[in-house]
């Protein structure tokens, strides 16, 4: 009776049931070598358990523990499924076990690696991490995540005030899993601007702020003046068009923390996002389409903004690197070089599929001077844990080609006619489940006379949007008349920027 009681109540009662608990000796390897991995334990009822005395993460429907090569622990007698996973470049491995009331059960899980991104020159990073900097080196190894800027200062939200801002930029880690700590998030939800992540920002941002002031662009400008990287965390935030117009965005999170391993955060407007203008954006697939359409609309204003990605692990039911951006390096891996190449746009963002695209042999972010209609040789390769449902080639916001691999491995070279100047990008999607996994490259740029074109409809859209945004604010939203004047001036500059794009057409 007690054994049955133990199996139903699982680990919380493991200690009390020790006499009826079996010991499990779990080892996790890849290519025959011990490795760190994320481990799930499910009992017969499907209840997820964490491993005592391991680094574990429990958020909503996500419960896992990190095992670094091996771990011994006890489980109440019963049947279990143990599964290990490790980032985007490895296949999962699982095993069913019957743990007897006494004795040792050995479990060995080997995670096949189907691609070695570092060997191909690609290094991954998650730009939105809320995990402990102490635990992060282990988590980075478990997810094969190369760059982990941990947000150590969070301003504007309800979370408790942070400890003193770190004086050093980097936390101790190994040579290919780098963890930095001078990273800040400014987040004002509901009526506020949304969120922006200021990475590699040596000076702590001033904590004094109202819902609307200082503006995101002010924080971004101050941080960038010191060499920081400003990531517009996702395209749905109301202030993205303002911060972009004033030239203070380095990348934008087209794959972001609203996409979880087993679900989605679909109610974006609750947090203060822009309003969705189409009902079809309310579905799982539609939500991703909303991100992509917004990104396209910004690119159609001539912004040369690379893609980025962030999970918000620590807040969301995701692990670090669930959303990640891969950056292609043309030399040795260093933290500084990774950010420089991210800024240059040699990147794709993903929460699953790996997407390699070159145009005439060059990486995303490359520039091709456009003077007349020209043919481009586009080489597309995907590798993924799951099958890829479709690949889309996008030229100036229009899908001009669809491919349907229906396989996890795909490679094809196609010829694309670039009839007008602008931008060319590729994205791919796995089939929709209770979430959606997709990847998107930074575009290849085709400027004419050194300039990317702007499409009047998109410029008009954002001029109108910012005008409306500014009109919702009144002097009472500001601490002083001076603050109100400064904000009004910034809004005016953004509106004039978009109107200038229409006029120059």
- Phi (first) and psi of residue 481, to 5 degrees: -65, -30
Q: Which stretch binds Zn ion (CB under 5 A): 39-47, 179-187, 244-252, 344-352?
A: 179-187
Measured from the CB atom, the residue of 154 and 383 that comes closer to Zn ion is 154
The answer to whether 309 touches 323, Cβ cutoff 8 Å, is yes
Measured from the CB atom, the residue of 185 and 216 that comes closer to Zn ion is 185
Measured from the CB atom, the residue of 185 and 430 that comes closer to Zn ion is 185
251-255 and 307-309 strand pairing: parallel
Closest CA to 458 of 349, 235, 299: 299
Minimum distance between the CB of residue 151 and Zn ion, rounded to whole angstroms? 6
Minimum distance between the CB of residue 254 and Zn ion, rounded to whole angstroms? 17
For the residues of 41-95, what is the DSSP string, one character each?
EEETT--EE--TTSEEEEETTEEEEEEESEEEEEEESEEEEEEEE-TTTB--EEE
Q: Per-residue x/- mask for Zn ion, residues 128 to 167, rule CB under 5 A?
A: ----------------------------------------
Q: Which stretch binds Zn ion (CB under 5 A): 28-36, 182-190, 332-340, 491-499?
A: 182-190
> Alpha-carbon distance 273 to 360, whole Å?
38
Measured from the CB atom, the residue of 257 and 296 that comes closer to Zn ion is 257
For the residues of 195-257, what is the DSSP string, one character each?
EEEEES--SPPP----SSSS-HHHHHHHHHHTT-EEEE--TTBTTHHHHHHTT--SEEEEE-T
Count interface residues toward Zn ion (CB under 5 A).
Answer: 2
Measured from the CB atom, the residue of 89 and 197 that comes closer to Zn ion is 197
Q: Which stretch binds Zn ion (CB under 5 A): 49-57, 310-318, 368-376, 495-503?
A: 310-318
Measured from the CB atom, the residue of 211 and 488 that comes closer to Zn ion is 211
For CA atoms 339, 343, 346, 351, give the dihedral sign. positive
Measured from the CB atom, the residue of 41 and 312 that comes closer to Zn ion is 312
Minimum distance between the CB of residue 160 and Zn ion, rounded to whole angstroms? 14
Q: Which stretch binds Zn ion (CB under 5 A): 45-53, 104-112, 221-229, 312-320?
A: 312-320
Minimum distance between the CB of residue 257 and Zn ion, rounded to whole angstroms? 7
Q: Which stretch binds Zn ion (CB under 5 A): 177-185, 202-210, 215-223, 366-374?
A: 177-185
Closest CA to 325 of 389, 254, 273: 254
Closest CA to 440 of 430, 431, 429, 451: 429
Q: Which stretch binds Zn ion (CB under 5 A): 10-18, 22-30, 118-126, 311-319?
A: 311-319
Closest CA to 314 of 204, 183, 166: 183
Measured from the CB atom, the residue of 312 and 466 that comes closer to Zn ion is 312
Give me 40's structure tokens: 């799930």
Minimum distance between the CB of residue 483 and Zn ion, rounded to whole angstroms? 25
Residues at the interface with Zn ion (CB under 5 A): 185, 312
């Amino acid at each position: 009776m007690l054994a049955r009681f133990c199996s139903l109540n699982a680990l919380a009662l493991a200690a009390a049931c020790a006499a009826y608990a079996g010991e499990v000796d779990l080892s996790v390897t890849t290519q025959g070598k011990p490795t760190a991995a994320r481990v799930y334990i499910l009992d017969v009822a499907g209840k997820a358990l964490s491993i005592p005395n391991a680094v574990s993460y429990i958020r909503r429907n996500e419960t896992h523990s990190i095992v670094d090569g091996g771990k011994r622990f006890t489980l109440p007698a019963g049947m279990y499924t143990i599964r290990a996973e490790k980032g985007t470049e490895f296949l999962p491995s699982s095993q069913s076990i019957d743990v007897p009331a006494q004795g040792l059960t050995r479990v060995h899980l080997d995670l096949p690696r189907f691609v070695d991104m570092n060997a191909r020159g690609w290094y991954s990073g998650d730009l939105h991490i809320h995990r402990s900097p102490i635990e992060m080196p282990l988590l980075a190894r478990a997810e094969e995540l190369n760059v982990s800027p941990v947000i150590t200062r969070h301003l504007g939200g309800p979370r408790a005030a942070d400890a003193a801002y770190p004086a050093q930029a980097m936390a101790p880690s190994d040579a290919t899993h780098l963890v930095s700590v001078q990273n800040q998030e400014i987040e004002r939800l509901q009526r506020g601007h949304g969120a922006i992540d200021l990475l590699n920002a040596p000076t702590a941002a001033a904590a004094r702020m109202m819902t609307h002031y200082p503006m995101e662009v002010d924080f971004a400008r101050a941080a960038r003046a010191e060499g920081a990287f400003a990531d517009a965390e996702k395209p749905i935030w109301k202030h993205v068009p303002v911060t972009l117009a004033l030239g203070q965005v380095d990348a934008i999170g087209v794959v972001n923390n609203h996409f979880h391993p087993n679900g989605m955060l679909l109610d974006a407007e609750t947090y203060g996002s822009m309003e969705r203008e189409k009902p079809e954006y309310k579905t799982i697939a539609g939500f991703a389409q909303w991100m992509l359409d917004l990104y396209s609309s910004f690119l159609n204003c001539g912004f040369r903004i690379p893609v980025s990605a962030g999970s918000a692990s620590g807040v969301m039911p995701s692990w670090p690197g669930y959303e990640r951006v891969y950056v292609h390096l043309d030399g040795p891996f260093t933290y500084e070089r990774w950010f420089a190449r991210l800024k240059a746009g040699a990147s794709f963002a993903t929460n699953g599929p790996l997407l390699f695209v070159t145009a005439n042999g060059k990486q995303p972010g490359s520039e091709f001077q456009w003077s007349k209609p020209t043919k481009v040789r586009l080489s597309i390769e995907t590798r993924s844990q799951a099958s890829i449902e479709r690949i889309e080639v996008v030229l100036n916001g229009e899908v001009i080609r669809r491919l349907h691999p229906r396989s996890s491995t795909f490679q094809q070279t196609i010829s694309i006619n670039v009839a007008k100047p602008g931008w060319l990008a590729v994205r791919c999607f796995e089939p929709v489940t209770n979430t959606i996994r997709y990847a998107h490259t930074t575009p290849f740029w085709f400027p004419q006379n050194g300039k990317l074109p702007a499409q009047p409809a998109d410029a008009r859209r954002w001029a109108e949007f910012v005008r409306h945004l500014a009109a919702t604010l009144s002097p009472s939203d500001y601490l002083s008349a001076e603050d109100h004047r400064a904000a009004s001036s910034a809004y005016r500059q953004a509106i004039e920027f978009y109107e200038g794009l229409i006029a120059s057409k």
